[in-house]
Structure 1
Amino acid sequence: MSAASLDGPPSSGTTWRYAVMNFGLTIPAQASSFLLLYYVDGLKLSPTLAATVMTLFAVYNAIDNPVIGFLSDRTRSRFGRRIPFIRFGALPTLLGFALMFNAPFNGATQPWALVAYFAVTWWLWETAGTAVGTGYLALLPEMFRTYPERTGVAWRMNVVQVVGLLIGLALPPLLAARFGWGATAIAFSVISGVAMFSGLGALSERPQLQQAPALPLLPALRATFGNRSFLTVVLAQTMRFVTTGTLAAGMGFYVKYTLGVPGGAATTLLLATAFVVAGVSLWPWRALVAGRLGARVTLMLAFAVTALSVSLLAVVHTVAGMWPVTACFGVGLGGMILMGDVIMADVIDEDEVNTGQRREGMYYGLSGLITTLSGALVSLTFGWVARRYGYDPTLATQPDSVAEGFRVFMTVPPIAGAALALLLLSFYPLHGERLATVRRTLAARAA
């Protein structure tokens, strides 16, 4: 497969095939939220050891994101700049994900063997997955050049992403209870593989971009980190992932130990409610809010709704009381996921005006570097809460303090993350006349 040229606007079929690939990327990424539940509550690995491994690899992933992004910008091949990373990274990504949930060791009797296995399989999944994800997202601003094209593909991407979120976050506890974590992970890998490989033929690149010289590393880093629009957006997005990552990682613990409901059915249904509502809310966010107020204000409203919904978890004591809370959270989630890639494409357009180059790889790579640190923050917070409130997976009965601990975990970090995101977005400069000037400049260059 060679990199196809972009002679006109993408067809509806191409747009949908590109969007469906996001389904394959979303399922493993979201299902990985249950790694703590699998390794700690299931395999009895020490919470401190598990949190340490995840924190170290979050730091590693933060480093390899910009490296892969930089290499992607500089790649010159008959397959293109981005497509090779997707084509050759997809299979190792899926294999690593399946292996992570098929550990042959027990944390109570073989803790260090389990830690080593966890580390190796995590490394394979993270490294290959970063290559695929960076290449895929870097193609969005290149394949979809105008604001209508980008909002159109973003809507499709997020429709399938919501389905992927539903499958990747809501179904694992239920399926694992019936079939086991290993079989569930293998099934998810197969489904994700079909979605990812089915879209490869629709990917295309502009050959002329391979002919342009790329910025060396240090100038590229200076130009990127000197972009105020990028810094404010990526830090706000990091807070988004702190918020959603905490809720995803903690929901099973919150339902089981704080609400006192064992089993995975309640967790599955609650998460399903959030993602169904998020999917339903995509059209209203796009038609009624984003089109009128722009990406910045849309994201700020979404974070405000999220903070409000999460604050209610402090007073909820029954599963019945969780339904309106998760529905409200779903509304906020819909707004956050709708505009994330669109606003980053605006940032990359501004960079082209400033540098004369398309550097999607570096921007998405550095975005991954910074946002991946959210995983470290979530893991460190989980480890601290577990120790502070006396959670011990080897105990048959947990102390009463554990219930309060997971209530704290599900409220304080997400609210703080949403509040910080609102503050950061208030300083985001690329809106109004400044954004209009960027779009007019690029349109004039393309004419």
Structure 2
Amino acid sequence: MLDLARQTPPTQLGRGAMIAWGIGTLGPVTVLTATNALLLRFLTDNYGLAAGLAASLIALSKFYDAFADVAMGVVSDRTNSRWGRRRPYLICGALLLAVSIFAIFAAPAFAGERTRLIYMALVLIFYATAYTIYNVPYMAMPGEMTRSYHERSELMRWRVYAVGLAIIIASAIGPKLLGWFGGDAAAYAKMALIFTPVVVIAGLVAFLGTAHAPATARAVTHHTMGEQIRSAARNKPFAVLILVKFVTLMSLGVQAVFPFFFQRILGVPIAVLGTYFFWQSAMFLLAPSLWLLCSRRWGKKRTFVAALALSLPAWLSWALAGHGEPLPLVYLRGVVIGISGSGVILMGQSMLPDTMEYDYRRTGLRREGVFAALYTTVEKLSGAIGVALVGMLLGRYGYVQSLGPAVAQPASALWAIRFAMAYVPAIITIAGMAALLAYDLDERKLAAMPLPVGPVALG
């Protein structure tokens, strides 16, 4: 019988490095969550763009970002500096992200729609570039920081804690700030100004706190980018994980429908949305230890499936909600979806460095940047499709945009909002569970693979 205790590398990371790296996700996730949850409504109800046009603009910026991710992955793999291959980009990316969120939500009120469109297109490209510069090297770091199968889950637990805190900042506190500041276009600018120091400080903490964490040096290779991408695609566990994340991460883009649903279907102030996201985010902070225990007992794959399945009743129940819905029931859905989302993120993130380790043992190459880039590329593409789907539904069924004051919506638009809120996430969840059936990498299979003595040919 295989002795996993002997085969698995010992713990290398200190708690401080884990926490610091986890805090590093506060910046990008705060900006990502704010744009996913609030940007589409800002563009339609405060910036005067049609719903379909606004959604297409957001989606196109994410498609651009997807192509930039791969280039950034290769750049970080090939970087040599006194601070390592990845860490310098944490500082640069954090500063650019802070500028981008303010530029988005403090957009000048140009009189012409075409001018507003051009400005927002340029700013969203800038934001996409900043996100890529930070997030691709950041997501490559776990593959270097530890080779312990279970320590990866422990490391990712601290990231999930930070994700929960970021969601509280962006989705719970954000809407409340909008309500306090009056809910107009100027309120969005004030909200963004409050978020900017959070983004900068998080990047600085991650940079300083991981100074002594294990890292790998650049390996000289003559393989082209295309050869490496094709080789990565032949990594079956990674390919399956990418498919699962592509499907499930569409729910991030679908979050764009939340402000519409709470205002138009539930008929509640936007501050209630903030409270909903508070309860959802609180579960992100409380549930990771439970999911970590489940993964040690059931394995990561089964835990991932269980986490997805937990959210199904909550998503489908939105189809029955309407005006007068008791707020405790609204918040209960947030609790369930938050517990589920905590497990989904924890398992998906902890399985990513497993596939990086599998690739290293299979090829002898240390190319965490390429894998992180492909992973975040899928994240952008799926999020773009989710946002575009919401925008297309609203536009197709007659949602009426405005420059601030609320306008009455046709029954068809209200049906589209309800469909996007309840049935689209449920379909996404079921598809993700089905895709996970093909994932076959576990601790025993990984430990049975010998460590390579050097790079091998990419056949």
Partner SS for 2:82: coil
CA distance in 2, matches of 1:113, 1:215: 44
Deviation at 1:352, TM superposition (A): 0.3
Q: How many residues align?
A: 432
Distance 1:207-1:295 versus aligned 2 partners, 3 A rule: closer
Match for residue 264 of structure 1? 270
Query: How far does the alpha carbon of each residue in 1:228-262 deviate from its partner, in whole angstroms, 9 at most, with x for none?
Result: 1111101111222112431x21111001111122x
Counterpart mapping for 1:281-360 below 5 A: 281-287=287-293, 289-317=294-322, 318-320=325-327, 321-360=329-368
CA distance in 2, matches of 1:276, 1:256: 23
- 1:425 maps onto 2:436 in alignment: yes
CA RMSD of aligned residues (A): 2.1
Distance 1:276-1:443 versus aligned 2 partners, 3 A rule: farther
Deviation at 1:302, TM superposition (A): 0.9
Q: Is the 8 A contact 2:146 2:214 kept in 1?
A: no
CA distance in 2, matches of 1:85, 1:268: 32
Gaps of 5+ in 1: 1-6
Match for residue 241 of structure 2? 233
Match for residue 32 of structure 1? 35
Which of 405, 408, 422 aligns to 2:419? It is 408
Which of 195, 207, 217 aligns to 1:188? It is 195
Deviation at 1:211, TM superposition (A): 4.7
Distance 1:357-1:272 versus aligned 2 partners, 3 A rule: same
Partner SS for 2:124: helix
CA distance in 2, matches of 1:411, 1:307: 9
Deviating above 6 A after TM superposition, structure 1's stretches of 4 or more consecutive aligned residues are none
Q: Is the 8 A contact 2:88 2:207 kept in 1?
A: no
Which of 180, 196, 209 aligns to 1:202? It is 209
Deviation at 1:203, TM superposition (A): 2.5
Which of 64, 78, 86 aligns to 1:60? It is 64
Deviation at 1:338, TM superposition (A): 1.4
Deviation at 1:210, TM superposition (A): 2.1
- 1:250 maps onto 2:261 in alignment: no
Partner SS for 2:361: helix
TM-score by length of 1: 0.91
CA distance in 1, matches of 2:144, 2:364: 14
The percent identity for this pair of structures is: 24
Deviation at 1:432, TM superposition (A): 6.0
Q: Is the 8 A contact 1:214 1:357 kept in 2?
A: no
Match for residue 77 of structure 1? 81
Query: How far does the alpha carbon of each residue in 1:363-420 deviate from its partner, in whole angstroms, 9 at most, with x for none?
Result: 0101122221112211221222112322102372222333222110112221111111
Q: Is the 8 A contact 1:258 1:402 kept in 2?
A: no
CA distance in 1, matches of 2:21, 2:284: 21
Q: Is the 8 A contact 1:28 1:189 kept in 2?
A: no
Deviation at 1:160, TM superposition (A): 1.9
Match for residue 372 of structure 2? 364
Q: Is the 8 A contact 2:253 2:384 kept in 1?
A: no
CA distance in 2, matches of 1:443, 1:9: 20
Match for residue 3 of structure 1? none
Match for residue 170 of structure 2? 168
Q: Is the 8 A contact 1:20 1:157 kept in 2?
A: yes
TM-score by length of 2: 0.89
Q: Is the 8 A contact 1:96 1:121 kept in 2?
A: yes
Query: How far does the alpha carbon of each residue in 1:159-184 deviate from its partner, in whole angstroms, 9 at most, with x for none?
Result: 12211111111221210222311011
Distance 1:48-1:207 versus aligned 2 partners, 3 A rule: closer
- 1:121 maps onto 2:123 in alignment: yes
Gaps of 5+ in 2: 1-9, 182-186, 455-459
Match for residue 11 of structure 1? 14
Query: How far does the alpha carbon of each residue in 1:96-138 deviate from its partner, in whole angstroms, 9 at most, with x for none?
Result: 11111101125xx421111111111111111021111111111
Partner AA of 2:135 in structure 1? G
Deviation at 1:360, TM superposition (A): 0.8
Partner AA of 1:160 in structure 2? A
